[in-house]
């Protein structure tokens, strides 16, 4: 599953250029029985399987303390990832990310190693790997020298608490398949920088008000 989409485009080029690197660890390599058992049934009953604390501990301890960094468990119960947290994580020299499966992870492991739980949103995935890839992608693009144009991140959604204004490109007039024509807003074509900025700020506020009133309240 790794690097998956992180091996493409911006993050892929940055990986090739050594701007970031990763290593994957398979908990199954740290099992002691011949079946490579990583999980067991939950105490107290209920459906599903739980990843074992002893196996996860051996996997974690295989990473030297100096290169472990913050230990994160991708989990729907966690603090929800947002751009502030992404910025914070992207400044960390190392991160260790645990991807759960099945019902999740034995709580004793999380408690014993002060593992931080981070969620990518209020829904449940079948595994933590896509969540880890999303978290990594969001962090990697903020690393020095990763995005070609450093300005790209400047006006982005969430960077100033608002959503970004709309974008347009050529052709200036586009006719859709139903014969309807659509023009680029006139203000963007007249080259008046200050007025364009004002228009973008208004659009940003309007979109945020419609799509994310919670951000405006904040």
Phi, psi of 187, rounded to the nearest 5 degrees: -60, -30
Provide the binding-site residues for ligand SAM, judged by CB under 6 A: 74-77, 99-101, 103-104, 119-121, 123-128, 131
Phi and psi for 95 in degrees, rounded to 5?
A: -135, 145
Strands in 139-190 per DSSP E: 173-175, 181-183
Nearer to ligand SAM, 28 or 209 (CB): 28
User: Minimum Å distance from CB 161 to ligand SAM?
Assistant: 23
Instruction: In angstroms, give the least distance from the CB of 80 to ligand SAM.
Output: 8
* Nearer to ligand SAM (CB atom), residue 39 or residue 162: 39
Smallest distance, Å, CB 203 to ligand SAM?
A: 31
Distance of closest approach, residue 82 Cβ to ligand SAM, in angstroms = 13
Q: Which residue number has the CB closest to ligand SAM?
A: 100
140, 86 contact by CB (below 8 A): no
Distance CA 111, CA 100 (A): 15
Q: What is the CA radius of gyration of the chain?
A: 22
């Amino acid at each position: 599953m790794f690097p998956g989409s992180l091996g493409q485009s911006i993050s892929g080029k940055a990986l090739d250029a050594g701007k970031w690197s990763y290593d994957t660890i398979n908990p199954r390599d740290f099992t002691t029985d011949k079946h490579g058992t990583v999980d067991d049934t939950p105490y107290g009953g209920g459906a599903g399987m739980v990843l074992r604390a002893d196996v996860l501990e051996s996997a974690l301890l295989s990473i030297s303390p100096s290169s472990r960094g913050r230990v994160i468990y991708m989990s729907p119960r966690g603090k929800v990832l947002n751009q502030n947290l992404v910025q914070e994580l992207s400044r960390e020299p190392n991160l260790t990310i645990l991807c759960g499966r099945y019902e999740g992870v034995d709580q004793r492991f999380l408690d014993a190693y002060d593992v931080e739980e981070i969620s990518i949103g209020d829904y449940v995935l079948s595994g933590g790997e896509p969540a880890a890839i999303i978290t990594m992608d969001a962090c990697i693009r903020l690393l020095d020298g990763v995005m070609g144009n450093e300005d790209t991140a400047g006006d982005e959604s969430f960077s100033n608490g608002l959503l970004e204004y709309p974008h347009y490109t050529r052709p200036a007039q586009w006719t859709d398949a139903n014969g309807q024509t659509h023009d680029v807003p006139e203000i963007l074509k007249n080259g008046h920088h200050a007025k364009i900025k004002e228009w973008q700020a208004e659009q940003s506020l309007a979109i945020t008000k419609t799509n994310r009133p919670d951000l405006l309240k904040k």
